[in-house]
Every structure is written in C-alpha cells, then in structure tokens.
Amino acid sequence: MNQLLRIEYNPLGRIFMLLVWLLFGLPIGLFLFFVVNNYFANFSGILLVICSIFYFFNLSFFKSLTFYENKIMKESNIFGKTYRRTLNYSKMETTVSKSFFGGSLMFWEKENKWKTYWFFVFDLFPVSNEEFKKIRQILIDKKKIDGDFEWNY
C-alpha cells in the first residue's frame, strides 16, 4: 500500500480542544438541561452533552488518519490497544464543517452512513492549514470533492 499522507494531531491543539469540550461544551450543555426551563433548551443541552463527551473521547483516543492510494485508515489507541478502521474511496462520501474552533472533517460509507460516520469524524483544529490543503488535494484527485468553496481553508 502506497501511503499518500499521515496525519497526527498537534499535542497543543489536542489539549486545547479537549479543554474546550470539557470546560465549555459540557458545562453549557448541563446548564441548558438542568437550569433552563424550556423543552428546546433541554433538548439542546442533552445534545451538547452527548457531543461534548463524543468529541472528548474521539480526541483523546485518536492516533492517526492515513490516506492510501485506495482507502483511508483511522487508527485509535484505546487503553493501549490500537483499533484500525478503513474506508475505500470508491464507497466513501465526505464533508467538512467549519466552526470557530477549526471544525470537523467527516467520512462515511455511502450504504452505511450511520454505521461508519461516527468512526470517521476528524477534528480539524489540531491540524495545520498545510495538512488540510494536502487532504483537500488528495480528495480532489480521488474525485471525492470538487474543491468547492466549503473546502477552502
């Protein structure tokens, strides 16, 4: 397998995003759920708590995202054991979501979106602009994106 690119998180970026989710996302979600007396706020609070926990663990356990000629592979290290998930370009769809703190890059299998989506969420804050440009170029070359405005960084 010919490796095109291997991405690992910048340690300071990872720590910053862990603190964002732990010190801001979780308390705000709990506040909306327990203090605000409104169904929409309560639902939003539950959603924010779930997302905060998910992103916290996703950032904590992430090891690397590797792009090969025909697939991508995400490696996670959970309590000393390495887990690898792969996704072939031929079956893959992708999108990027930008936010104030970097945003996320998401990959999923066309036929099994909800089964594969959660394993391929990739936080962009701990990644440099140059690495993002390389990811973008690989996805353009593999004809997974057309380089539209959302993919400009």
Instruction: Give the residue ranges of DSSP H helices in the chain.
Output: 11-20, 26-34, 39-61, 113-116, 129-141
Res. 55: pLDDT tops 90 = no
Q: Domain segments of the chain: what residues?
A: 3-151
What was the pLDDT predicted at 39?
92
What backbone phi and psi angles, to 5 degrees, belong to 148? -65, 180
Q: Which two tokens stand for residue 53?
A: 């926990």
pLDDT tens digits, 89-113: 998 888 888 776 678 888 888 887 7
Tell me the per-residue pLDDT of 28-46, one tens digit each, with 9 for 90 and over. Answer: 999 999 998 889 999 999 9
As a whole number of angstroms, the distance between CA 99 and CA 97 comes to 7
Q: Model pTM?
A: 0.82
N-to-C CA span, the chain? 29
